[in-house]
Amino acid sequence: MAHDHHDNELDPMEVRLRALETVLTRKGLIDPQAIDAIIDTYEHRVGPRNGARVVARAWTEPDFADWLARDATAAIAAMGYTGRQGEHMRAVFNTPEAHNLVVCTLCSCYPWPVLGLPPGWYKAPAYRSRAVMAPREVLAEFGLTLPEETELRVWDSTAELRYLVVPMRPEGTAGWSAQALADLVSRDAMIGTARARVPA
Amino acid sequence: MTLPETPAPEASFEAPWQAQAFAIVIALHRRGLFTWAEWTEALGAELAAADARADGADYHVRWVTALERVLAARGVTAPDEITELAEAWARAARATPHGMPIALANDPGTP
* A31 and A57 fall within a common domain: no
Residues B20-36: pLDDT tens digits?
Answer: 999 999 999 999 999 99
Q: What is the DSSP string of A115-148?
A: H-SPPHHHHSHHHHHHHHHSHHHHHHHTT----T
Concerning whether A107 is annotated as a catalytic residue, the answer is yes
Residues A2-40: pLDDT tens digits?
Answer: 444 445 677 899 999 999 999 999 999 999 899 999 988
Please give the pLDDT value at position B111.
Answer: 67
Residues A26-82: pLDDT tens digits?
Answer: 999 999 899 999 988 888 778 899 999 999 999 999 999 999 999 999 999 999 998
In angstroms, the CA A105 to CA A158 distance is 9
What residue in B sits closest to A85 (Cα-Cα)? B36
* A128 and A54 fall within a common domain: yes
DSSP alpha helices (H): ranges in A142-198? 178-182, 187-191
Judging by DSSP bridges, how do beta strands A98-103 and A151-156 pair with one another? Answer: parallel
* A97 and A161 fall within a common domain: yes
Concerning whether A109 is annotated as a catalytic residue, the answer is yes
* A142 and A123 fall within a common domain: yes
- Please report the number of interchain residue pairs, chain A to chain B, with beta-carbon separation below 8 angstroms: 178
* A71 and A164 fall within a common domain: yes
Domains identified in chain A, total number: 2
* A103 and A158 fall within a common domain: yes
In a domain, A5, yes or no: no
Q: Cβ-count burial of B43 within 10 angstroms (0-12 exposed, 13-18 middle, 19+ buried)?
A: buried
In angstroms, the CA A105 to CA A128 distance is 5
List, as ranges, residues 62-101 from B with C-beta within 8 Å of A.
64, 67-68, 71, 76-77, 81-90, 93-98
Local confidence band at B57 (pLDDT 50, 70, 90 cut-offs): confident
> Which residues face A91 on adjacent strands?
A164
Question: For chain B, what are the domain ranges?
Answer: 15-77, 78-111
* A71 and A86 fall within a common domain: yes
In a domain, A3, yes or no: no
Task: List CB contacts (< 8 A) between A48 and chain B.
Answer: 6, 9
Which residues have C-beta within 8 Å of that of residue B60, sequence separation ≥ 6?
A: A13, B13, B14, B15, B17, B18, B21
Query: What is the complex's ipTM, to 2 decimals?
Result: 0.85
Residue A21 near residue A13, CB atoms below 8 Å? no
Name the amino acid, one letter, at A124. A
* A23 and A92 fall within a common domain: no
Q: Report how far apart, in Å, the C-alpha atoms of B62 and of each of A89, A170, B56, B57, B68 are.
A: 27, 40, 10, 10, 10
Which of A16, A120, A158 has the CB atom closest to B10's CB atom?
Answer: A120
Local confidence band at A87 (pLDDT 50, 70, 90 cut-offs): confident
Concerning whether A104 is annotated as a catalytic residue, the answer is yes
Domain of residue A176: give its range.
46-191
Local confidence band at A84 (pLDDT 50, 70, 90 cut-offs): confident
What is the average pLDDT score of chain A? 91
* A25 and A66 fall within a common domain: no
In a domain, A50, yes or no: yes
Closest CA to B9 of A81, A195, A119: A119
* A25 and A72 fall within a common domain: no
Identify the three-state secondary structure at position B8: coil
* A53 and A36 fall within a common domain: no
* A62 and A52 fall within a common domain: yes
What is the average pLDDT score of chain B? 84
In a domain, A200, yes or no: no
Residue A174, domain CATH: 3.90.330.10
A102 CA: distance to closest CA in chain B (Å): 17
